[in-house]
């Protein structure tokens, strides 16, 4: 199929395509999403085909506001409305008990559903015009780094979706924070733009799922099916180097082969300059927001090179640093060395 390129004048076209069962690439503040009408099982099924996504990995339903939660969820705890008041619209997904009108294709058969109210103005306009909840995972081929520009999404999806709406580069750059509100205490399933510190300030105790910070062992059952898959991976294997930035930079300089790729903080670019080596900057060591915006672009960029290995510096896990390190660690299959 031919993938139509849409821009902000085409919001109604995007909404009409969604209502007609089509697949539309949609800008959000986190990453580009692959959207379909979340009430149309056949349309949702095509999301899995286009991405090559395993059937047991659930999707998130995107809604215009917390007033739609009751339509699709039941037993909604007060915490959900408190989080919505503080952080919606924004990069936060809440896992809640589903109602029967949510298709099994969206939830991968779970009795819970992930709900998010996105902040990107074009995304909100499309959802409102379509007047349906939009089911959307990230717009990458399954397993690849998530797209943060329309061009990156087209690398994976051109010819596989009906249209893409270009809303410019994503302002957060990593996928939404996911918090499970069906357990006590609430549990962080995926770190993102709303930080663990912000969740704890709102809710008190919040547990962190072990899959956020380490590889699940063989035979261990992940809390959500999606957590068991290798993710965000460029084609070459990645090694993450932890420790103070000066130490990790020196470690990489000492260990990387001449043709290996490097992802480093801006300050250390000169250390790797001059050779044939492809180097991507993650942004300044002190600016984790910028690191979040750049991490997927950095990982994706190496696929246009011949590198056989990639070495990456990473920030500490405070604030949105937890999301940046989580994406790098997952891209590395949790292959981490301490400098």
Residues of the shown chain interacting with Mg ion in the complex, contacts defined by CB under 5 A: 138
In the complex with Mg ion, the residue whose CB is nearer, 138 or 177, is: 138
- Mark residue 213 as left, alpha or beta (left: phi above 0; alpha: psi -120 to 50; beta: remaining): alpha
Q: How far is the CB of 31 from Mg ion (least distance, A)?
A: 7
Question: Whose CB is nearest to ligand AMP?
Answer: 226
Site string for ligand AMP, 53-92 (x = CB under 6 A): ----xxxx--------------------------------
β-strand 336-338 against 112-116: which pairing, if any? unpaired
Tokens coding 28:
């959000």
Tokens 């993102």 appear where? 192
Q: How far apart are CA 252 and CA 194, in angstroms?
A: 31
Q: How far is the CB of 15 from ligand AMP (least distance, A)?
A: 21
Tokens coding 175:
């996928």
Which of 10, 40, 175, 297 is close enough to bind ligand AMP by CB under 6 A? 175
Q: How far is the CB of 81 from Mg ion (least distance, A)?
A: 27
Handedness of CA 65, 149, 105, 196 (dihedral sign): negative
In the complex with ligand AMP, the residue whose CB is nearer, 138 or 281, is: 138
Tokens coding 74:
């039941």
Which of 179, 189, 240, 249 is close enough to bind ligand AMP by CB under 6 A? 189
The answer to whether the beta carbons of residues 59 and 139 sit under 8 Å apart is: no
Interacting partner of 37 out of Mg ion, ligand AMP, none (Cβ under 5 to 8 A depending on kind): none
- DSSP per position, 243-279: S-HHHHHHHHHHHS-TT-EEEE-GGGHHHHTTSS--E
Q: Does 112 bind ligand AMP (CB under 6 A)?
A: yes
> Residue 174's closest CA among 156, 136, 147?
147
In the complex with ligand AMP, the residue whose CB is nearer, 226 or 283, is: 226
The answer to whether the beta carbons of residues 240 and 288 sit under 8 Å apart is: no
The answer to whether the beta carbons of residues 288 and 197 sit under 8 Å apart is: no
Interacting partner of 112 out of ligand AMP, Mg ion, none (Cβ under 5 to 8 A depending on kind): ligand AMP
* Number of residues counted as binding ligand AMP (CB under 6 A): 19
The answer to whether the beta carbons of residues 98 and 180 sit under 8 Å apart is: no
The answer to whether the beta carbons of residues 165 and 316 sit under 8 Å apart is: no
In the complex with Mg ion, the residue whose CB is nearer, 241 or 320, is: 320
In the complex with Mg ion, the residue whose CB is nearer, 107 or 138, is: 138
In the complex with ligand AMP, the residue whose CB is nearer, 178 or 314, is: 178
Q: How far is the CB of 89 from Mg ion (least distance, A)?
A: 20
Please give the residue ranges that form the binding site for ligand AMP (CB under 6 A). Answer: 57-60, 95, 107, 110, 112-114, 137-138, 175, 178, 189-190, 224-226
């Amino acid at each position: 199929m031919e993938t139509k390129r849409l821009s902000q004048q085409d919001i109604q076209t995007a909404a009409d395509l969604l209502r007609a069962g089509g697949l539309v690439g949609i800008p959000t503040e986190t990453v580009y999403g692959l959207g379909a009408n979340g009430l149309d099982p056949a349309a949702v099924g095509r999301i899995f085909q286009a991405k090559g996504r395993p059937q047991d990995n659930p999707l998130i339903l995107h809604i215009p506001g917390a007033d739609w939660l009751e339509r699709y969820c039941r037993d909604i705890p007060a915490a959900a409305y408190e989080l919505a008041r503080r952080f919606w619209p924004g990069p936060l997904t809440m896992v809640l008990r589903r109602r029967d009108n949510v298709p099994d294709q969206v939830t991968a058969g779970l009795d819970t559903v992930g709900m998010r109210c996105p902040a990107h103005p074009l995304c909100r306009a499309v959802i409102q015009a379509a007047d349906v909840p939009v089911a959307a995972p990230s717009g990458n081929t399954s397993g690849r780094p998530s797209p943060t520009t329309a061009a990156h999404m087209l690398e994976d999806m051109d010819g596989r979706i009906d249209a893409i709406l270009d809303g410019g580069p994503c302002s957060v750059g990593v996928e939404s924070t996911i918090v499970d509100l069906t357990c006590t205490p609430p549990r962080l399933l995926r770190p993102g733009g709303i930080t663990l510190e912000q969740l704890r300030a709102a809710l008190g105790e919040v547990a962190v799922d072990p899959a956020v910070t380490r590889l699940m062992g063989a035979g261990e059952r992940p809390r959500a099916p999606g957590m068991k898959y290798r993710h965000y991976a460029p084609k070459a294997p990645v090694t993450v180097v932890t420790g103070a930035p000066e130490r990790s930079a020196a470690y990489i300089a000492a260990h990387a082969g001449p043709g290996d790729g490097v992802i480093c903080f801006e300050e250390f670019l000169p250390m790797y300059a001059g050779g044939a080596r492809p180097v991507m900057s993650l942004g300044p060591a002190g600016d984790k927001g910028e690191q979040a915006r750049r991490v997927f672009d950095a990982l994706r960029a190496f696929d246009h090179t011949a590198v056989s290995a990639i070495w990456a510096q990473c920030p500490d896990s405070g604030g949105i640093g937890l999301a940046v390190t989580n994406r790098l660690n997952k891209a590395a299959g949790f292959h981490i060395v301490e400098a």
